A and B are shown apart, each in its own frame.
Chain A
Amino acid sequence: MKKKVLSILLTAAIALSAVGCGGTGNTNTESSNESAESTETTGDQSDAETGSEGADHAEADSQDAATEESAASDGTKILKTAASFAYPSLDVHKEYYGWYTSIYGVSEALFKMNENMEAAPCLAKDATVDGSVWTITLNDGVAFSNGTPLTAEMVVKNLQRVAEVNERFAYLADFEMSAVDDKTIIIDTKEVYPTLRNELASPELGMVDLDATTDFDNDPICTGPFVISSFQPEGDVEVAKNENYWGGDVKLDGAVFYYMQEDDPKLLAMQSGEIDCYNSVSSAALAVYEQEPENYNVVSIPGARLQFYILNENTLDDAVRQAINLTVDKDKIAEYLSGTVSPAVGPFSTSAEYGKVTVPAVDTDKAKEVLEADGYTLGSDGIYEKDGQKLSINIKYYAARALDTLALLIQEQLKAVGIDSVLGVEEDPDSTYIANSDFDLALYCMIADKSGDPLYFIESTLKDGSYYDCGGFDDAHCEELIDQLKFETDTTKRAELANEIVQIAIDDNAFGYVGLFNNTTVLRPGVSGFAEDIPFDFYGIDAETDIK
């Protein structure tokens, strides 16, 4: 009897819970849609919007509460945000850790890149050059968070340390550096080095009080508007206002950077009011935020990270390369990638002086004409062929930075004009198709503009023998221009040279510059100054960041 009663009770309990679940059926469906979409890096925006409808007006309360919480009742302003990367160390000079100490508002370099992609004064007020000798003058009153003034001698020591501990900056060891007085540094680069000012804006060259810092990994003493108050290696980071900040008032009292890699939790944390802002917003999350402009302020600007493809000149003839470039529709790709990418013209932002190049408009009829003029005939299956061989190209890509989607879209667009293609995915492009050149069209994504100057990208991709010049592009005039660019000190002339060089590559159909990733930041109303208008990845909070 007891057993029967027990089994009836148990069954009733399970049945009740099932009814309970059934009662929330609608909501469940909505959340499922949202979840599925949120996991996709790309997708149909309208679908995402449908899913987002369920994602909720219920959050409005929590958002109001969150803004109040951030500007807490005791008047302290603590910004809460999410960081997609976390590192085991805060040593400004090593690896890319300086990017994050810069984002945390802890470290500052001599110069700082601004929204116009210029190296603006920061710790240094000026840098002048005479031949190979640079004279850098420090700003007045610059001091570390412990109150110790930043001296020219300390700058030299810092630069020497970076050269020692960071392989990417080992070249600094070749320069002769000396402190003339407390505020003046002389750097002799031995040969003309026009980009030094921009290089000095690299966050890895942030200034650290080398004499007073005892724990570089956990508590570096720097000059930024914030100081580390809690650091969890490869985890969350908390910063507090630097009371001795040399640059004046700091508006925030502190900030918390939660390490959150996944897009879904970031979206949910934003909806629940647990964070106030974050950047690198995914397309699915963007669709949700754009539904509620009263609750979320979304700022999106073209960034410095470029999606492009390399056309192999050794395997594709001129006509096929031209036809490909006339066919790939960047605007449609950008539209499909729903707000995460802006169509590119060249490798650099068109707002930069060195981003003024032109590309032929998409013209599929002309693409077909070019192929037919080259002896290709359209087969019964809609694919061009020549000498009995179907026109089929080998597209290589890797599944990151939306390149997988890009590969599919390019494949579809090419097929529409009669070019067949086979997709090949690699986990590591650098040691496979980039190293071996076993592709017809290779997709890649990299930072094209790391310091407001075109030389780095041009030398990496267009100079003969460079690692990413793996498609056989070789032009003697281009080489001459690159050599000139390397030593040209006049900014206007540098831009002209860069434009000419890139135009040669475009006219040769050696590359296709598809899209520049947008730097997309979402902020709660009242939050400002989270580097949302700067196209570089290595800035975050500063003295002007505020919660109103």
Chain B
Amino acid sequence: MIKKAIVKIVSLISILIVLSFFVFALLYLAPGDPAEKRLTSQGVAVTKEVLDAERERLGLLKPFLVRYGEWLVRVIRGDFGVSFKDDMPVAPKLYAGLKNTTILAMTSLLLSLAISFWLSILSAIRKNGIADNIIRLFSFIGNSLPNFLISVLLMYFLCIKIKLFPVIAKGNVQGLFMPVMSLSIPMTCRFIRQMRTEFLTQMKADYVVGMWGRGVKGRYIVINILRNSIGHIFTIIALQIGTLMGGSVVIETIFRWPGIGKLVMDSITARDYPVIMGFVIIMGTIYVVINQLSDILSHCMDPRTNL
């Protein structure tokens, strides 16, 4: 067990080193440099001398491998460095963004699961019935609507028409409602379709047909179907968590929710390498850990995976 854990940790570190090297290389190759972005951020031109001095100060004139090595050594020591954009420490920025994104992502995920789980069961059991058709229609519509449209429509109806919420929300529970709804509506609809498909696949399986044939009560059959579907559902959820933790730039920008998605998008625009690299390391770790947890949970919940 300990050996397995060590292997997993070593593989995680290897993944992160390779990932960070590739991202660092891509950023190095991409056109644009942080000094120029920083100095001209308000559209004011600067002279070459000023630009070169800033490049020198930020250490951009050093060779690629030296820069990568310095960054790696700092990260190993637990220092993500300072932002090229504003000289502020990277770690608190990432921490604040990640915290806000986690709150938004987890609330949206739980809400989506709470709704989609039951509706997908109902939809699968009542396949081609009225309930199924209505649920499928709504899930199709919800799936097709882009986030920004849902956000603006929600704002228009809830803030302008029925004045239930302010447009300018604070970072509290009230302020969380509309961004959560904007994220949850398409996610719920996607979950319903994915879970319904999984339940229907199970319902056609031989063991279910056999149970029906033996006259087993419906509720026991449903329990068995759920038990056997849970592995796939965990995978769907795990993948969704990874996506959600990357943040939603549109939702965060429209609802003024200072999450990691907006932070990273702004950092990419500003070529703020330390923040981007910090994000890559954190997200890489989250992805790998969640996938590992999902595997472990699948093993625990579904004995077939251990065969």
Contacts and interface: CB of A to CB of B under 8 A. Distances in A.
B163 A447 contact: no
A467 B45 CA distance: 9
Nearest to A82: B168
B113 interface: no
Interface stretch (B6-14, B47-55, B295-303): B47-55
Contacts of A99: 42
A272 B158 CA distance: 11
Interface of B: 31-33, 36-48, 50-51, 53-54, 57, 86-88, 122, 126, 129-131, 134-135, 138, 148-149, 152-153, 155-157, 159-161, 163, 166-168, 253-256, 258
B42 A31 contact: no
Contact of B43 (A305, A428, A459, A466): A305
26 contacts: A7-B122, A7-B129, A31-B153, A32-B149, A35-B156, A56-B160, A58-B161, A89-B88, A95-B41, A167-B57, A234-B258, A264-B254, A265-B155, A268-B152, A268-B160, A268-B167, A269-B168, A271-B160, A272-B159, A272-B160, A275-B168, A305-B43, A431-B33, A446-B44, A447-B43, A466-B47
A22 interface: no
Contacts of B254: 262, 264-265
A447 B224 CA distance: 68
Contact of B53 (A18, A167, A305): A167
A35 B47 contact: no
Listed residue (B43, B161, B163) with the most chain A CB atoms within 10 angstroms of its CB: B43
Contacts of A426: 31
A27 B254 CA distance: 21
A96 B57 contact: no
A32 B156 CA distance: 10
Interface in A242-288: 258-262, 264-265, 268-269, 271-272, 274-275
Contacts of A18: 134
A102 interface: no
A375 interface: no
Contacts, number: 137
Contacts of B43: 305, 445-447
A87 B86 contact: yes
Contact of A235 (B44, B159, B258): B258
B86 A88 contact: yes
Nearest to B36: A430
Sorting the interface of chain A by its residue count into under 10, 10 to 19, 20 to 34 or 35 or more gives 35 or more
A168 interface: yes
Contact of A58 (B51, B54, B87, B160): B160
A57 to B, nearest CB: 12
Given A11-B134, A264-B254, A446-B44, A428 B31 contact: yes
Contacts of A260: 168, 256
B50 A431 contact: no
A233 B40 CA distance: 21
Nearest to A96: B42
Contact of B31 (A95, A233, A274, A427): A427
Nearest to B137: A18
A345 to B, nearest CB: 20
Contacts of B148: 39
Given A38-B152, A447-B44, A170 B86 contact: no
